[in-house]
Structure 1
Amino acid sequence: MAEPPGDPTPAAIARARQAFLDACRLDVETPKPGNVSERSAGHGMRAAQFLASAEAAAGALFTPGVPVGSRVLDAVARTRDAAGCNTNLGIVLLVAPLAAALENTALPLAEGAWREATESVLARLDLDDARLAYRAIALANPGGLGDAPEQSVHAAPTIALREAMTLAAARDSIARQYANGFRDVFETGLAAWREMPAGEPQLATLHVFLAFLDRWPDSHIVRKQGDAVAHSVTLAARERHTQWLAALRGTGPITFDAHAPFDPFAGFDAWDADLKARGINPGTSADLTVATLFVAGCLAAARAA
């Protein structure tokens, strides 16, 4: 019998917090082209900074009863203290409303109910949430963030956070989640996660990442290098993703290295090095991947509880 929504139990909070930490750990354990991983540092950052950031942000993200904007600002401030740079602004912006929605979702946790609760949380976001989120963005100082014609993050907001995000949704995939109720995470991301074998979390993580990268131009690349570069990376991801899936499934040639045992990650090493040499970081695709891993982890923990 489902428990009614209300004050979350300590066990439920602990499960959600652990799912977040697991998602952040899996993100850097999995080599993803252009992103920082344990296999490959880059962009002046190392995997250890991302793990420290996750630990620092978790306390802020999973404090019951705290508004979304406060969670975002507190998590970013703690991250700056722990890592000294912006490692997880996008992750924090994505996870904060999902974490708040968990507190209003009946147990045992079900995907549909969580999506409905997330929509309710987004609908209730107000001007204070926007002010706090804008302060967090200014504190994180994400690379390449430019001005906008309306509700620029360089000025004080005058509308609620979801309205501001909706204005940016066409040019930013994280903002789009606020506008569409996290549809891309719950649909595109989870579908990709579930396509991989249950016992292969790194393969699933890479598949989710590539699913996002080959579907939309990465917002972080657009901001830093422009539309043309972002579109070229998307096209390359689409081709390489298709080849990789064919090799995994045995339906196509293993084009990565025919003279060595198939390593499902080694085929991306050269592309990873090239992207990093050019300063290209598909960071938004990685952020969406972490949010997907968090959702998948919470749902799995609920089934096991």
Structure 2
Amino acid sequence: MSLAPTALFGCAREAFLEACALDVSTPKPGNVSAQSPGHGMNAAQFLASAQASLDALFARGAPVGQRILDAVTRTRAAAGCNTNLGIVLLVAPLAAALDDIVERIDLTNHPGTPALTASTWRAAVARVLARLDVDDARLAYRAIALANPGGLGDAPEQSVHAPPTIGLGDAMRLASERDSIARQYANGYADLFDTGLAAFREASANAPDVAMLNVFLAFLAGWPDSHIVRKHGGALAQSVTLAAREQHARWRQTPLRSRRAPSDPQLDAWDAELKTHAINPGTSADLAVATLFVARLLDAGDARHGTVTR
């Protein structure tokens, strides 16, 4: 995609809000949706959180840690609870990477406008992650403490309950084996750009909520959800992953290209069962939102220019 910088950032903001709206307009087992509130939260809080965090996440030139803290602070004021910490942690480096792409072209006086493809965005994310420092870590730790996510325990090294002594990227690498969001900081968002975008492309010809559900189920079936692990332990999280694999395979028996809505009675029943036991696959939903943000922005450029950027 080639867009002038102003148009690029405008499209990025729109893509973020669209992804957050799809998060709650798409019924996803165990997650809050417009059709099925749960875990003491409702869809309106998630939509308010998206709007509240928007300016902070896309603040041009702001450090990643500052984006995270400002977004969580504004979210807390708008929603009164932790609705989007995982989304914020994932999107902040992605948004900063858009700055990096524009700045590299501006610095070299390259003619034309910035080109955004999955590969250029991924490379820019890697550069952003490599620059994360202890100030980013301090600000992110403050944000995590403010959000107070459910099931947050202590860690043997660089616990969020104490001031960090290493950069945010290094801290995330220490947590990467137990947390899927931290793993994105450690592996350059490989899960998002590989697993997530592949699942999106498989269903991208369908209604957007079908694509969202396919991405969510791909993540939930791929590995144990970190939020479930923190709150309920690894054994239960693994059982949910195995159930997700069965549900995803069954749901996909109907060719995705023929689907126009994600509704499915068995998924609805599983949603009710998960919520009855307070099981929320929140990390899988966060990864799905970040994936849809990336996919929607890449597709926005395709639609404007008739180009293929994948």
SS in 1 for 2:191: helix
Task: Give a deviation string over 1:223-244, Cα, whole Å, max 9, x none.
Answer: 0000011000000000111011
TM-score by length of 1: 0.92
Pair 1:128-2:135 in alignment: yes
CA contact (8 A) 1:129 1:160 kept: yes
Pair 1:196-2:192 in alignment: no
Structure 2 alignment gaps of length 5 or more:
103-113, 305-310
Q: How does 1:150-161 map to 2 (within 5 A)?
A: 150-161=157-168
How many residue pairs match? The answer is: 291
| Percent of paired sites with the same residue | 67
| In structure 1, C-alpha distance between the alignment counterparts of 2:256 and 2:80, rounded to whole Å | 42
Return the match for 1:174 from 161, 181, 189: 181
Letter in 1 for 2:49: S
Return the match for 2:119 from 101, 112, 136: 112
Pair 1:290-2:297 in alignment: no
Q: How does 1:271-290 map to 2 (within 5 A)?
A: 271-290=270-289
| In structure 2, C-alpha distance between the alignment counterparts of 1:287 and 1:168, rounded to whole Å | 17
CA contact (8 A) 1:166 1:178 kept: yes
Task: Give a deviation string over 1:65-99, Cα, whole Å, max 9, x none.
Answer: 00000000000000000000000000000000000
CA contact (8 A) 1:70 1:132 kept: yes
Query: Structure 1 residues 51 and 77, CA, compared in 2 at 3 Å: closer, same or farther?
Result: same
2:92 maps to what in 1?
A: 96
Letter in 1 for 2:70: D
| In structure 2, C-alpha distance between the alignment counterparts of 1:57 and 1:155, rounded to whole Å | 25
Query: Structure 1 residues 108 and 55, CA, compared in 2 at 3 Å: closer, same or farther?
Result: same
| In structure 2, C-alpha distance between the alignment counterparts of 1:301 and 1:263, rounded to whole Å | 23
TM-score by length of 2: 0.91
Structure 1 alignment gaps of length 5 or more:
251-261
2:14 maps to what in 1?
A: 18
2:52 maps to what in 1?
A: 56
Letter in 2 for 1:114: W
Shift of the alpha carbon at 1:199? Answer: 3.6
Q: How does 1:234-249 map to 2 (within 5 A)?
A: 234-248=241-255
Task: Give a deviation string over 1:106-155, Cα, whole Å, max 9, x none.
Answer: 52311111111000000000000000000000000000000000000111
| In structure 2, C-alpha distance between the alignment counterparts of 1:82 and 1:196, rounded to whole Å | 33
CA contact (8 A) 1:130 1:157 kept: yes
